[in-house]
Chains A and B, each alone.
Chain A
Amino acid sequence: MTSIDIQQLTKEYGTRRAVDRLTFRVGPGRVTGFLGPNGAGKSTTLRLVLGLARPSSGTALIGGRPYAAHPRPLHVAGALLDPRAAHGARTARDHLLALAVSNGIAVRRVDEVLELAGVATVADRRIRTFSLGMRQRLGIAAALLGDPDVVVLDEPSNGLDPEGIAWIRELVRDLARAGRTVLVSSHLMNETAAFADHLVVLGRGRLLADTPMREFLDAHSTRRVRVRTADPDRLHAALARAGHTVARSGDGHCTVDGADAAEVGAVAAAAGVPVLELRDERASLEEAYLALTADETEFAATPLQEA
């Protein structure tokens, strides 16, 4: 199957390095979430992969060769970069038809992808009458036009309603299940957590992480256990003896940092303390991501100072 291989990829605009010696591989059969703060270089990287901008150095290959070297590239990779890019005065069908014809794609495929993306009923309307969500769907229809092995989507859930977001989630999973290489950039953590199997994280143009989602969460979140007991004082004493720090909250719960449920359960059992509730608390992707990118955010707000 086809993968995306990025080697020492660098793009400079004047003295600013938008993309700085990136090296990673996006493999088939899984959804790779592409994360990073605004200005981290995600879109620039995608443009370099698709040959729309020239790298200052390094290479970006799809299926072992530059995107532009494929004779009918829409069959190899399909991309949604900017939903506004379709000309407002054209109809959705004409927009797709011009793309299809240029790559020798059968005209009936245009109707198939219009149907697939849920915009078949507005196919003959001018694109300027479309909402942002409809334009996103049209952009996704264009990306799937050539039935490509590689699908690249830049912020696909922008402007979509909840139903559309759920549709995207199922779509990218289905594409990956069918063995395709799927790269989806986003800044919405909950969204990405819902579909990504693997994560590539950028910060200021550099690679911060390239790991499976599960490992990413484990690596960038502290272990923590939430426990509720009928006898908090005895449990606290027992945990303190075992070397754990305990934070107590008002309603009889307490949380133990740096431990997991097995350890806390064993301590409680040894001390003979009845446990009413015991569970591992895992950091969300958002927390893990923020912990990783705290120093890499280019445009961060400073908290308002109290006078």
Chain B
Amino acid sequence: MFAAPVLHSEWIKIRSLRGSLGSLVAVFAVTVTVTVLVRAAAGHTATDKGDDPLFGAFYALTFGQVAALAFGATAFSCEFRDGALCVSLAAVPGRTRFYVAKTAVVGVGALATGLVTTFVTFLAGQAFIGSDALGLGEPGALRACVGGGVYLALMALLAAGLTAVLRSAVAVLSILVPFLLIVSFVVGDVAGTAADLMPDRAGQQVLHQHPSGALGPWSGLAVTAAWTAAALLAGWWAVRRRDA
């Protein structure tokens, strides 16, 4: 019943920190810029013949997701410096209420930014291709735009939950970024089904026009959502149980 003031308060905390607000803007700016630059430079050839052209349209999301992780991590890590959590919990002593409000603001912020990012990326990128361009009416295109936005929000929340457990954005980002960008990328093509269940690979199924492998577009996103839910539950437990 006191949800609205706490949500508003958490939004003020995020928008008043350059780091948090900056990473949210970077999700959009990085993804769209990389897409436009790559398309402008390479044009049609950017998409290999054999690859899924729809997935190729979201190539730059690999970079945008790092900003999403940074957003989720910094939005929480600011509470774990120099007793800031004491001030926050003195104002909102209900730990669950505090955690849910913060998570909701991170999730909604990332989802809104994510959706704008995927739609703009898709439309702007296709504008460079000419006659072979995909439209939103293309099978799977709308699903990929919506799913991609959800994917970015899930990534931000994954980082947020882990930060609540580890209490440090640096620790979380130095685990997640190598894990998602390197391990999954290297191992990905080699190992079969196990790598398909990694949070990033599973979730990115939704960006393919014709997803290959065991997971479909939505079931893949559901696997990522399960990873995120696990991180958020662990974070909830940590915030509730630990002394501030």
Contact = CB atoms under 8 A, between A and B. Distances in A.
B16 A85 contact: no
A70 B18 CA distance: 33
Contact of B78 (A87, A97, A102): A87
Contacts of B12: 94, 97-98, 101
A103 interface: yes
Contact of B82 (A51, A52, A67, A82): A82
B94 A68 contact: yes
Interface in B1-34: 2, 5-6, 8-10, 12-13, 16-19
Nearest to B13: A98
B93 interface: yes
B90 A52 contact: yes
Contacts of A86: 84, 87
B244 interface: yes
B79 to A, nearest CB: 9
B106 to A, nearest CB: 15
A265 B127 CA distance: 105
Interface string A57-89: 000000000011011111000010110111101
Contacts of A70: 93
Contacts of A74: 90-91
Contacts, number: 87
Nearest to A152: B90
B45 to A, nearest CB: 43
Interface residues of A, number: 33
B89 interface: yes
A100 to B, nearest CB: 8
A53 B90 CA distance: 11
Contact of B243 (A53, A103, A142): A53
Contacts of A71: 2
Contacts of A81: 83, 86-87, 90
Contacts of A97: 12, 16
B96 to A, nearest CB: 11
Interface in A82-126: 82, 84-87, 89-91, 94-95, 97-99, 101-104
Contacts of B6: 102
- Classify chain B's interface size: 20 to 34
B16 A104 contact: no
A85 B5 contact: no
Contact of B83 (A68, A82, A142): A82
Contact of B93 (A68, A89, A90): A68
B16 A94 contact: yes
A98 B10 CA distance: 7
Contacts of B13: 90, 98
Nearest to A103: B91
Contacts of B94: 68
A131 B84 CA distance: 17
B81 interface: yes
Interface string A36-69: 0000000000010011111000000000000110
A50 B85 CA distance: 12
B9 A98 contact: yes
Contacts of B243: 47, 52-54
B92 interface: yes
A95 B82 CA distance: 14
A102 B84 contact: no
B85 to A, nearest CB: 8
A90 B244 contact: no
Contacts of B17: 87, 89-90
Given A53-B244, A89-B18, A104-B5, A84 B93 contact: no
Nearest to B16: A94
B82 A99 contact: no
Given A87-B81, A89-B17, A82 B9 contact: no
Nearest to A54: B243
B244 A47 contact: yes
Interface in B187-206: none
B16 A98 contact: yes
Interface string A174-214: 00000000000000000000000000000000000000000
Given A68-B93, A101-B5, A102-B91, 18 more contacts: A52-B243, A53-B243, A53-B244, A54-B243, A70-B93, A71-B2, A72-B2, A73-B91, A73-B93, A82-B86, A84-B82, A84-B83, A87-B17, A87-B78, A89-B19, A91-B16, A98-B13, A102-B8
29 contacts: A47-B244, A50-B86, A50-B90, A52-B90, A52-B243, A52-B244, A67-B93, A79-B90, A81-B83, A81-B87, A82-B82, A82-B83, A82-B86, A85-B82, A85-B83, A86-B87, A87-B81, A87-B84, A89-B19, A90-B13, A90-B17, A98-B12, A101-B5, A102-B6, A102-B9, A102-B91, A103-B91, A104-B5, A142-B87
